[in-house]
Structure 1
Amino acid sequence: MAMLLAQANAQTTGSQPIVQVTPERAGWTYTGFEVYRLKKGESIRREASGVELAVIVLEGTCHIRAGGEAFSSVGMRTSVFEDKSPEGVYAPPGTEVEVEAATRCEVAVATAVTEEGTGPVRRITPADIPYERRGEGNTRRYIRHILDEHHPAAKLLLVEVVTPAGNWSSFPPHKHDTESAEEAYLEETYYHRLHPSHGQAWQRVYDKQGLDEVLTPRDGDVVMVPRGYHPVTAPPGFSSYYLNVMAGHHRTWKFQIDHDFQHIAPKDGNIMGKVEQPR
């Protein structure tokens, strides 16, 4: 389980991903993830064969063509830590997607293995993305629901989270690795960014059957969560950003909180905070 961390190659640019996770690499069934850093004029092409796909423009601006549709000037923020929502494009299986950088940009490509999608190709705009304040005190963090259960898709779930320096996130520790009335199986990746970028976060991935890994992802690294609980902390002096990609047998986010932390969990078990209209 020491392979739960995929380290970024920050020197990679252009058509090669700086970090990549495939189902084969992770040893699971559905979830894939990769990130590209493009200079103006550079482009990437992806064929969504056997997967549904979401391109999320994390930083900068891109032109995206998919399934005969052309979306110009996608993306509007200069940093993932800027108080703005991202933009992107969703593509069902069988769609060819091309991304061309209009400025220097960072682009995430999230995939889920499926023969079914929820078409058509569409642009994901800030107006589509609810904003949530979750937690209190040193568990406060800020969440943007890019592609959740209320948005059409077959498998993919996408959220991004900003955690202030010194705070905890993905907390209380929870898991979603079995199928039951109370829980859904979801494979999950965490794409970590730090501000300042020379920092690191801490993430523990553990269960009650012997899995126990404490990982220290740096800027651009990806943590894979095949099972177990997976809390994150941002050390003092470094703000944390992460993009979550989840996919599983069914497209629903149901989880179980670690019983050791039930005394601080909401009595109804719902860790969701105040969800606001998109902004």
Structure 2
Amino acid sequence: MAPASSTPTDQLHLPAGSTAQGSYETAIDPGRRDGWEHTGLRVLALDAGGTETFTADGVELMVVPLSGGCEVSVDGARHTLRGRQDVFASATDVLYAPVGSELTLTSAGGGRFALAAAVATAVHPVALLRAEDVPVEIRGGGAMSRLVRNFGTVGAFDDCDSLIACEVITPGGNWSSYPAHKHDETTATESELEEIYYYEIQAAPGGSPGFGFHQTTASGPDKPIDVLTEVRSGDTVLVPHGWHGPCAAAPGHDMYYLNVMAGPAADRAWNITDHPDQTWVRGTWEAAGIDPRLEGEMR
């Protein structure tokens, strides 16, 4: 992997629309930018009755409806993803498609659909994970409470090559990806993984846009990085290395992010190291209790 210094900071926060290609509001592909080799994300917007064909050339992927539902044909077999109103409403059906697949997405009512991708070589079977079967957990406590939908994490879905993916809901005013942590080297306790954060932020009751903040900092002198940026709906932040977090949701604006991870190791694993100055907060979570705003989706 290219050293982090080859990726300027202004190329790590990608505002909404800045990578758009045709029907794709976001188009980030592995190997298409300096120092970015293992992960990709496309966000497809379809009008009612719209259709799009995509070939998973060199990547495996998961189709994650952000709003609306769709039919996905994978190499001739059709699968129905029931979707959802928006990312804050609930978990969603998710479809895994292996490397080399040809996918055709069709949406009768229109919608937006994330294609979370990772470089892969081994072929695994197509898999449909229903929303009601997505493992959901609450991490943290108090103002650090957040809800994680583990549809594509290690241990939740493992019949794939390298892709790791999940989505996180952080209520307005709360902090997540906290303590800050890293996974940028291969050790007995850590995995080397690139990570994509794709954000959506809930608007105010009157419709004005919401916002939050994302931070990534250097984990060593050979890994220079310094990102502290305001994020809005449709923004993407790339994390090639370094301590990432906290992510803060502005009060009144719930925050969603889709995480996509993969790395160079043959073994698919998600092992992290907490920032030594922040790991102590884990000891406060039990006494702080769970933010009651998150309890409705637990089952």
Instruction: Please confirm whether the aligned pair reaches a TM-score higher than 0.5, indicating the same fold.
Output: yes
Q: In the alignment, which residue of structure 2 is the partner of 1:130?
A: 135
Q: What are the equivalent positions in structure 2 for 1:181-220 lying under 5 Å apart?
A: 181-196=188-203, 198-208=209-219, 209=221, 210-220=224-234
Whether 1:255 and 2:266 are equivalent positions in the alignment is no
What number of residue pairs does the alignment pair up?
268
| 1:6 alignment partner, one of 7, 10, 14 | 14
Whether 1:175 and 2:177 are equivalent positions in the alignment is no
Q: In the alignment, which residue of structure 2 is the partner of 1:270?
A: none
| 2:168 alignment partner, one of 161, 166, 173 | 161
Whether 1:225 and 2:239 are equivalent positions in the alignment is yes
Cα 1:26–1:61 change in 2 (3 A) is: farther
Q: In the TM superposition, what is the alpha-carbon distance from 1:158 to its structure 2 partner?
A: 0.9
Q: In the TM superposition, what is the alpha-carbon distance from 1:67 to its structure 2 partner?
A: 2.2
Paired residues of 1:6 and 1:21 also in contact (CA < 8 A): no
Q: What are the equivalent positions in structure 2 for 1:82-93 lying under 5 Å apart?
A: 82=89, 84-93=90-99
Helix, strand or coil: the match of 1:120? coil
What is the alpha-carbon distance in structure 1 between the residues aligned to residue 139 and residue 164 of structure 2? 18
Q: In the TM superposition, what is the alpha-carbon distance from 1:42 to its structure 2 partner?
A: 0.8
Structure 1 residues without counterparts, runs of 5 or longer: 268-272
Paired residues of 2:137 and 2:298 also in contact (CA < 8 A): no
What is the alpha-carbon distance in structure 1 between the residues aligned to residue 216 and residue 34 of structure 2? 14
RMSD (Å), alpha carbons: 2.3
Helix, strand or coil: the match of 2:269? coil
Paired residues of 1:26 and 1:224 also in contact (CA < 8 A): no
| 2:261 alignment partner, one of 234, 241, 246 | 246
Q: In the alignment, which residue of structure 2 is the partner of 1:70?
A: 78
Paired residues of 2:74 and 2:102 also in contact (CA < 8 A): yes
Q: In the TM superposition, what is the alpha-carbon distance from 1:173 to its structure 2 partner?
A: 0.4
Q: In the TM superposition, what is the alpha-carbon distance from 1:50 to its structure 2 partner?
A: 1.4
Paired residues of 1:8 and 1:18 also in contact (CA < 8 A): yes
Structure 2 residues without counterparts, runs of 5 or longer: 1-8, 285-289, 291-296
What is the alpha-carbon distance in structure 1 between the residues aligned to residue 187 and residue 133 of structure 2? 30
What is the alpha-carbon distance in structure 2 between the residues aligned to residue 26 and residue 106 of structure 1? 28
Helix, strand or coil: the match of 2:198? strand
Give the TM-score, by structure 2 length: 0.84
The amino acid across from 2:151 in the alignment is: I
Identity %: 35
Paired residues of 1:130 and 1:278 also in contact (CA < 8 A): no
Q: In the TM superposition, what is the alpha-carbon distance from 1:26 to its structure 2 partner?
A: 5.8
Q: In the TM superposition, what is the alpha-carbon distance from 1:144 to its structure 2 partner?
A: 0.4
Q: In the alignment, which residue of structure 2 is the partner of 1:143?
A: 148
Helix, strand or coil: the match of 1:265? helix
Q: In the TM superposition, what is the alpha-carbon distance from 1:59 to its structure 2 partner?
A: 1.1
The amino acid across from 1:126 in the alignment is: A
1:173-205, Cα deviation, whole Å (9 max, x unpaired): 000010000100111101100111612210011
Helix, strand or coil: the match of 1:259? coil
Whether 1:33 and 2:41 are equivalent positions in the alignment is yes
